[in-house]
Structure 1
Amino acid sequence: MLRITLRDGEKAILNGAVISAVGRTQLRVENTVSILRGREVMRPEEATTPARQLYFSCMLAYIDPDGREKHQEATLVALRDLLNPGAPDAVKQACVRFANEIARGEFYRALAPARDLIALETPAGSSETAAA
């Protein structure tokens, strides 16, 4: 069982459906679902770098289990772009963590190393976030 609290006006994606809280709302999910809180959701126009494209394709694969295969190519292209010969060790390590989670079918957990990759490519002092 998963218990999630949404603040007034906060949005989430639940099995592909966008839900919005009216007032403070508590949800109790009693079976397996794909759920993302609004702050974990990235819009297509924000997928502007290889790490962001990796996050975005993984996010889509997570919320759209029936369409995972169509997101696989975008994921592989982004991984290839990140794992160039001159990639720093921290990038390589995050890519390995990401790939391990994907190989286990843990798309939600793979979002964490994808966020790490975004942080690694975001210049210090930048106000960009991992997912808007």
Structure 2
Amino acid sequence: MLRISLKDQEKIIINGAIIRSAGKSTLMVENRCTILRGKDIMEPEEANTPTKRLYFACMMAYLDPENREQHQDSILDLYQPLMGIFQSGEPQVNLIEIGKALAISDFYKALTECRQLIDYEAEAMNRAAPADAD
């Protein structure tokens, strides 16, 4: 059993249904289902970097099983170039873990690893920004 506490107006997706809390709520999920909390939901316009586009494609594969094959094609198109960009260190470990998760269709695990990759990408962009300003 999974217990989920939601803040007022917080969104959650359960088996494709978008649910918004009207007031503070607690849900008890008693069986296996596809769940994504509001903070983990990415809108299409937010997918504006290579790692965010990968996250979005993985999220869609997780939430939209009817079109999963199409989403998996997008994932591969996005994943392969990142392997060439992140060739060492923690980002490469994240990409390897994403690949393992995708191989067994564990899209939620892939999302977890993608979030770490997004954080790394943001840090790298922040480090590069001052140098570009010179």
In the superposition, relative to structure 1, how do residues 112 and 71 fare at CA in structure 2: closer, same or farther (>3 Å)? same
Query: Residue 72 of structure 1 aligns with which residue?
Result: 72
Mapped contact 2:86–2:92 kept (Cα < 8 A): no
Structure (1 or 2) with the greater helix fraction? 2
User: Is the counterpart of residue 22 in structure 1 residue 22 in structure 2?
Assistant: yes
Q: What does 1:18-97 align with in structure 2 at a 5 Å threshold?
A: 18-84=18-84, 87-97=87-97
Q: Which amino acid aligns with 1:83?
A: M
- Greater Rg over alpha carbons, structure: 2
- Unaligned 5+ segments in structure 2 are 128-134
In structure 2, the partner of 1:109 is: 109
- For residues 13-72 of structure 1, the C-alpha deviation after alignment (integer angstroms, 9 at most, x for no partner) is 111111010111111111111111111001111111211111000001111122211101
Mapped to 2, the partners of 1:26 and 1:86 lie a distance apart of 40
Letter in 1 for 2:119: A
Moved over 6 A (4+): none
Q: Return the alpha-carbon distance in structure 2 between the equivalents of residues 3 and 85 of structure 1.
A: 39
1:8 aligns with 2:8: yes
* Letter matched to residue 44 of structure 1: P
Which residue is 1:130 aligned to? none
Higher relative contact order (CA 8 A, sep 6+): 1
Structure 1 unaligned regions, length at least 5: 126-132
| TM, length-normalised to structure 2 | 0.86
Q: What is the identity percentage for the equivalent residue pairs of Structure 1 and Structure 2?
A: 42
Please report how far the alpha carbon of residue 104 of structure 1 lies from its aligned counterpart in structure 2 after TM superposition: 2.1
Kept in 2, the 8 Å contact 1:53–1:74? The answer is: no
Partner in structure 1 of residue 118 of structure 2: 118
AA matched with 1:63: L
Contact 1:82 1:91 in 2 (8 A): no
- Counterpart amino acid of residue 49 in structure 1: T
CA-CA distance at 1:86 after TM superposition: 6.4
- Give the secondary structure class of the aligned counterpart of 1:33: coil
Question: How many residue pairs were aligned?
Answer: 125
